[in-house]
Amino acid sequence: MDVVVDPGLEHQAERARSRQGFLMGLPAIIYLFVFFVIPLGFVVMYSFATRTRTGRTELAGWNLEAYERLGEAVVRAVAFRSLWIAAVTTLLSLVLAYPLAYFISTRRPATRNMLLVGVMIPFWSNFLIRTYAWRVLLDSDGIFTRIMSGVGLGDGRILFTNNAVILGLVYGYLPFMVLPLYAAIERIDWSLVEGARDLYASGWSAFRRVVWPLSKPGVIAGSILVFVPSFGAYVTPAILGGNKKGLMGSYIVDQFMDARNGPLGSSLSVLVLVVMLMGTLIYFRQGGRSL
């Protein structure tokens, strides 16, 4: 007997496959849509809206004024200061994290896991609390200050300076640098280094010509993971920087709270988003893998 499979059935099966998991993912999808996508839409909408004299935001008279104001000297200064601080934070994190990641990934597997857990231990307590702890340490009679002046490294009073902000940011985001670096270095086939050494490369040359280029995906991933949140950081500059000099995060809050300029606050937020998005795009373009 001839068995004829209805082509419609096959088509149905394919369609079912393309929907696989959709229902199970639905709660999360709804959640993200309501609490993330819609508010984001509001922010974008606000950035084109009009600010009334009383500081209300009127969803009418759509214009680009808030974006034009991004070119103002004050805003530019804030943006560049944030970029600078984010860049320094990223570089310092990289310099600190690379040797650590290299060290961890060359240990035996059991030791490796222990060290990785160690790197993540700070996450077990709240970021805000930890940042306040830094404030205590950096206080004019805090331990940090006393040690610094004790060993003759200036008077050690760095609280409420950019340096304190960078210190806090490096502290907070270092694990985000260590983990992707570890993942990248750990993947490198050690026989490649032996191959390089066998082909007359010194230890340093073998690192520069083999290990470093092959760990680049980790460098890029880590740098983006540190740079992006540093650029938009709010808590750390607020607590350790004292907000004496405006940074992107606090400047945006100021626009909504004090200056009551919703459209400018929104356009600034969109700017931060675009910077972050570009960072993420670079990451994926480099063939980066999610961690």
Partner 1 sequence: MSVAVGLQGVTKHFGGVVAVDNLDLDIHDGEFFSLLGPSGCGKTTTLRMVAGLELPTAGSVQIHGEEMGIRPPNKRPVNTVFQSYALFPHMDVARNVGFGLEMRKVDKAERENLVAWAINLVEMGGMAHRKPGQLSGGQQQRVALARALVNRPEVLLLDEPLGALDLKLRQQMQHELKELQREVGITFVYVTHDQEEAVTMSDRIGVMHDGRLLQVDTPETIYEHPTTRFVADFIGQTNFLEATVAAADEVVLANGDRLRLSTEHSGGTPVAVTVRPERLTVHGRGEAPGGTHRLDGVVDSVIYMGNAINYSISVDWMHLDVRCPATLAGDRKYVGDEVTVSFDPDHASVVIG
Torsion, Cα of 201, 204, 208, 211 (10° steps): 90
Q: Which residues pair with 57 in a beta bridge?
A: 51
191 binds partner 1 (CB under 8 A): yes
From CA 206, how far away is CA 210, in angstroms rounded?
A: 6
225 binds partner 1 (CB under 8 A): no
The DSSP string of 88-118 is: HHHHHHHHHHHHHHHHHHTS-HHHHHHHHHH
91 binds partner 1 (CB under 8 A): no
198 binds partner 1 (CB under 8 A): yes
Q: Give me 44's structure tokens.
A: 């974008």
213 binds partner 1 (CB under 8 A): yes
Q: Which window, 112-120, 155-163, 172-180, 194-202, contacts partner 1 (CB under 8 A)?
A: 194-202
189 binds partner 1 (CB under 8 A): yes
148 binds partner 1 (CB under 8 A): no
| Out of 13, 199, 274, 277, the residue judged to bind partner 1 by CB under 8 A | 199
Residue 193 CB, nearest approach to partner 1 (Å): 9
Please say which residue, 18 or 191, places its beta carbon nearer to partner 1.
191
CA nearest neighbour of 215 among 192, 233, 243, 232: 192
Q: Which amino acid is at 194?
A: E
Residue with tokens 């290990």: 211
| Out of 44, 70, 83, 214, the residue judged to bind partner 1 by CB under 8 A | 214
Q: Which amino acid is at 196?
A: A
CA nearest neighbour of 271 among 4, 89, 2, 68: 68
Q: How many residues bind partner 1 (CB under 8 A)?
A: 18
289 binds partner 1 (CB under 8 A): no
Which stretches of the chain bind partner 1, using CB under 8 A?
189, 191-192, 194-203, 205, 209-210, 213-214
